[in-house]
A and B are shown apart, each in its own frame.
Chain A
Amino acid sequence: MVVLRDGMCPGLSEELVVALRAADITTGTWVLINLFTLVNLASRCGNALLAIRRVLLAQHTAFPVSGADLYEDLLSSTAILSTGNPSLDKLLDSGLYTGELTELAGGPGSGKTQVCFGVAVNISYQLKQSVIYVDSTGGLSASRLLQMLQAKSCNIEEQMEALQRIQVFPVFDIFSLLGCLHHFRCVGLQQASAGGGSVKAVIVDSVSAVISPILGGKQNEGMSMMTQVAGLLKTIAKDFNVAVLVTNTVTRDGNGQLKAGLGQTWSHVPRIRILLQRLERPGSTCSSVRTATLAKSSRQPCHLKEEFDLQCWGRSEEQLYGMSGKRKHTEPS
């Protein structure tokens, strides 16, 4: 809550601030909460104090919204973005939903970054929308993106245009990530991307690389920064109607089962979680086939498994379905 200062709201003069300080009241929270003590002070400081309380309440209360309005809003603004891979789309209930946080968890070499590339290429080329890619591992290879685009189209103009719709933000530590996300929230995604076109997806690869060095041990700030990142990502997803895709590592729990990294607190943050694994087939060490397991979902039963080939984004396919929207109007938002 804000520190009380002269001129913050009508009636809050310098003398009043000094008088309040003398009574040990420095922040607005105090003014709002302690009505009883306020009444006692009112005899000394006048009715100005009650007026200030009314102003603070008016400025800082949240507005209730009816459920019907929210539902209408959701129907008209949510879009489903196909990932470009039919097996993944089946797991995700036809694609990435805007307004939601989806997580890809997997061990090293399981294909998380490749899936992120595939999603970015599909959205920028097939759906012709912008993508913001926050890269924290240095794993983004523009030559690989170009290779995927070359498989979809031979037209160099189209390839270059699609590449221009992907905005890359390199961040390598937690403070840069927080600064970057705050920047998105303050100036809005359209201005942040400056590439023209509407941003439909924000991909963060990977969120565990910047958060795991600050968790645990004698550091007590790690959890709070992790929760701030979670809050910012969810706000960005909701306010700007984008699909947020993050990648995470995996650890093994007591029974040897794979689970997503970053601990219990983070496990509640994403709405959908997919675990990626390599297939342990004898004789094929360089295979590009992976299994995806649905570990957490609000729409489908968990533990659904699908197999898919990482190279499918590098080949042109006849059947790629485009952006479908759960809304009443037919034109895209």
Chain B
Amino acid sequence: KMQRDISSYAIAPSVKVKLLNAGFLSAADLCDLRPLQLSKEACISQEEAVEVLQAVRCESGQERAAAGRLTALELLGREQELGTIVTFCSALDMALGGGMPVGKTTEVCGAPGVGKTQLCIQLSVDAQIPVCFGGLGGKSLYIDTEGSFLVQRAVDLAQAAVDHCGLLAEDSEQQEALKGFTVETILSNLFLVRCHDYVELLAETYLLPDFLAQHPGVRLVVIDSIAFSFRHDFEDLSQRTRLLNGLAQRLIQMATNHNVAVILTNQMTTKVWSGQSKLVPALGESWGHAATQRLILHWEGTHRYCTSTPLHGWSLEGSLPATTIICPCQGFCLALDNVTSKIDIYQTFEKLPDFHMHWVRNSLGRPPTVIKITCRLL
């Protein structure tokens, strides 16, 4: 039954050629051989023979394939456990269904100056918010290719986050957590890597799985930006597409295996087509499939708008209109499916100029429960 071709295993191509020349075509031929025998018959070194036999080991290949499987029900539980990283902009959080999803890749596109780097730095701080405040309590990795990361801005955002949580802290658990959540700890849990060209960026993504294994607390990986390294000095566009596709697969594999949120930023380019020009995300149409979710930020007048694909079903039917309960860019967002509670909240909060609310977790199959609502005057 084990008629699997040697060529379908992850073995170096030169070794594969030697094996095929020696007449080994399927895994069954290699099953009962010892490394010394194999290296003699196929004229490969003993280390290569050991590697080949390990790759082809009859049972483990099948088990590895079956190991990662889960039912959709288990996946649902896992998705809800993983949580999201809030962006501190309620409208954006509502459009995203809570925040940036952990375990998926999200691409943020926009024209220069729309706020992609700001959003990334904000997320690096938000990923570290302690669990008792509704955050993930994790560390962040920031890969900077443009040199646009400003430490001073990160300090400002960290200070704002600490102050915000300070206002919210009520019980002893939260007071305790606040002691460990200071500007110094936030900055020390923010790992920064600087890559100067696409080769360094690709090398870094190959090293990332080891890094994440050594630092299991990392919950966010930001690459700002992918476009910069790949848009300049690339003559062979088909090679660029191949490299980008391979990169996308490695990133989603990393996001899934290590439970991190991966955020990529991309630039915009002008596409001229049948006499019209349109602003579209850079790096080509095939890159459009790379990220699980894509956010396009653009200006309209003095407001920033965000379009996200795929459409998040959450916000279409059950949530409240964005204009009603938003304290712009300073607060979590509340979404309720229960109609009666909606009216209550309207009445209470219409009287207050400013308020903070906790994000609501939608638990499995039950109607959403509100964790906490606090109203404070700023």
Contacts and interface: CB of A to CB of B under 8 A. Distances in A.
Interface string A137-148: 111111111110
Given A3-B23, A166-B72, A109 B309 contact: yes
A295 to B, nearest CB: 18
Interface in B267-326: 285-286, 288-289, 292, 294, 307, 309-311, 313-314
A216 interface: yes
A167 B71 contact: yes
A142 B79 contact: yes
A162 to B, nearest CB: 8
B71 A179 contact: no
B249 A167 contact: no
Interface stretch (A36-44, A51-59, A73-81, A182-190): A182-190
Contacts of A224: 7
A217 B238 contact: yes
A26 interface: yes
B184 interface: no
A156 interface: yes
A160 B76 CA distance: 10
A331 interface: no
A129 interface: no
Nearest to B28: A2
Interface string A183-203: 100110000100100000000
Contacts of B5: 228
A175 to B, nearest CB: 4
A183 B268 CA distance: 42
B377 interface: no
Contacts of A168: 69-72, 75
B120 to A, nearest CB: 20
A3 B288 contact: no
A220 B17 CA distance: 12
A138 B82 CA distance: 14
A217 B239 contact: yes
B249 A209 contact: yes
A167 to B, nearest CB: 6
A170 B7 contact: no
B252 A172 contact: yes
Contacts, number: 169
Contact of B61 (A146, A172, A179, A286): A179
A141 to B, nearest CB: 7
> For the side of the interface on B, what is the size category?
35 or more
A322 interface: no
Contacts of A250: 285
Tell which of B65, B66, B246 has the most Cβ of chain A within 10 Å: B65
A195 B71 contact: yes
B1 interface: yes
A226 to B, nearest CB: 11
Contact of B288 (A109, A160, A212, A251): A109
A168 B238 CA distance: 32
A114 to B, nearest CB: 7
27 contacts: A107-B288, A108-B294, A108-B309, A109-B288, A120-B72, A138-B105, A139-B292, A142-B76, A143-B79, A145-B72, A146-B76, A159-B365, A164-B71, A166-B72, A169-B68, A171-B65, A173-B249, A173-B253, A175-B9, A176-B64, A182-B8, A182-B65, A183-B62, A221-B13, A225-B7, A250-B285, A288-B311
Interface of B: 1-2, 4-5, 7-10, 13, 16, 23-25, 28-29, 61-62, 64-66, 68-73, 75-76, 78-80, 97, 103-105, 238-239, 241-243, 245-246, 248-250, 252-253, 255-256, 285-286, 288-289, 292, 294, 307, 309-311, 313-314, 365
Q: 8 closest A-B pairs (Cβ-Cβ)?
A: A108-B288, A142-B76, A172-B253, A213-B246, A166-B72, A163-B73, A138-B252, A183-B65
Given A138-B105, A170-B68, 18 more contacts: A2-B29, A114-B310, A142-B76, A163-B73, A164-B73, A167-B72, A169-B68, A172-B249, A172-B252, A179-B61, A183-B62, A186-B1, A192-B69, A212-B286, A213-B246, A214-B242, A215-B242, A217-B238
